[in-house]
């Protein structure tokens, strides 16, 4: 068999597997997968453990996830779950493993690697992203920007400011970060913009955007803004930092 034929067959098998994963997911699960994907990407962009952003069961219930849905996701190894034992005085989140089919009010959930792949496939579909979700970060950032103002990118001073304070200042050229900030500024700082970076040969645009987002969140003079992906790898969102996230995962034994 020619190498090209073998490669084509492998691509076809991968496409069929991807289609199979998508088809087995009931439509009402997609909002919950979107929340879990958002939490995963928050953790990834801030270089934190995914459990730092584990999604609480009540939030998933609000996204119409049932106990049977959660059992199915866990049995398919798309999610992991544990019971949160964090106390008010704790500076990091603590969890205790529970049985694979046991869920309590304190249950929190994260995506597994296979669940991450599934969620990205599902959330890349335009209809999924476009569905109204009043509890999502996108709507929160839109509300927050209306209430407390918008950032300002000062191209001449090479500063991004928010609420009259310098968030980040560039001493050296950072063309990708500056291109994103300029795009937000030109569009009036909407909750989301398309990837504004010019395509470059031999560079994965999704990886480049991901790295740019991480860079925007690093080395802020004041931690006032958070940049994040939109779940498709083709857009970027922002929101004000209303509460500093300092939790780090600690899971105690059964």
Summarised one tens digit per residue, pLDDT across range 159-202 is 999 988 999 999 999 999 999 999 999 999 988 899 999 888 88
Summarised one tens digit per residue, pLDDT across range 80-132 is 999 999 988 888 899 998 887 888 989 999 999 988 888 888 876 533 333 33
Summarised one tens digit per residue, pLDDT across range 128-163 is 333 334 444 444 444 344 345 789 999 999 999 998
State which CATH number among 1.20.1280, 1.10.20, 1.10.530, 1.10.10 fits the domain covering 9-130. Answer: 1.10.10
Integer Cα distance of 99 and 245 in angstroms: 28
pTM of the model: 0.49
Summarised one tens digit per residue, pLDDT across range 35-60 is 899 899 888 888 888 899 999 998 89
CATH 1.10.10-classified regions of the chain: 9-130
Summarised one tens digit per residue, pLDDT across range 208-246 is 999 999 999 999 998 889 898 887 888 998 888 754 344
């Amino acid at each position: 068999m020619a190498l090209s034929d073998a490669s084509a067959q492998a691509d076809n098998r991968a496409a069929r597997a991807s289609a199979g994963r998508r088809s087995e997911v009931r439509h009402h699960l997609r909002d919950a997968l979107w929340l879990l994907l958002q939490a995963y990407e928050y953790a990834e962009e801030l270089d934190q453990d995914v459990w730092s952003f584990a999604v609480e069961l009540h939030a998933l219930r609000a996204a119409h996830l049932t106990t049977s849905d959660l059992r199915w996701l866990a049995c398919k190894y798309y999610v992991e779950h544990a019971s949160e034992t964090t106390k008010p005085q704790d500076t990091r989140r603590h969890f205790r493993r529970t049985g694979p089919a046991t869920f309590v009010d304190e249950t929190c959930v994260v995506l597994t690697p296979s669940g991450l792949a599934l969620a990205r496939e599902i959330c890349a579909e335009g209809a999924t992203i476009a569905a109204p979700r009043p509890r999502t970060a996108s709507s929160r950032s839109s509300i927050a920007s209306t209430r407390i103002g918008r950032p300002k990118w000062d191209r001449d001073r090479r500063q991004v400011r928010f609420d009259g304070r310098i968030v980040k200042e560039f001493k050296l050229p950072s063309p990708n970060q500056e291109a994103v900030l300029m795009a937000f500024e030109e569009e009036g700082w909407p909750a989301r913009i398309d990837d504004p970076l010019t395509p470059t040969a031999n560079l994965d645009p999704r990886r480049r955007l991901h790295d740019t987002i991480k860079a925007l969140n690093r080395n802020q003079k004041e931690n006032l803004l958070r940049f994040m992906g939109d779940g498709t790898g083709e857009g970027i969102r922002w929101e004000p930092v209303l509460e500093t996230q300092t939790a780090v995962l600690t899971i105690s034994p059964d």
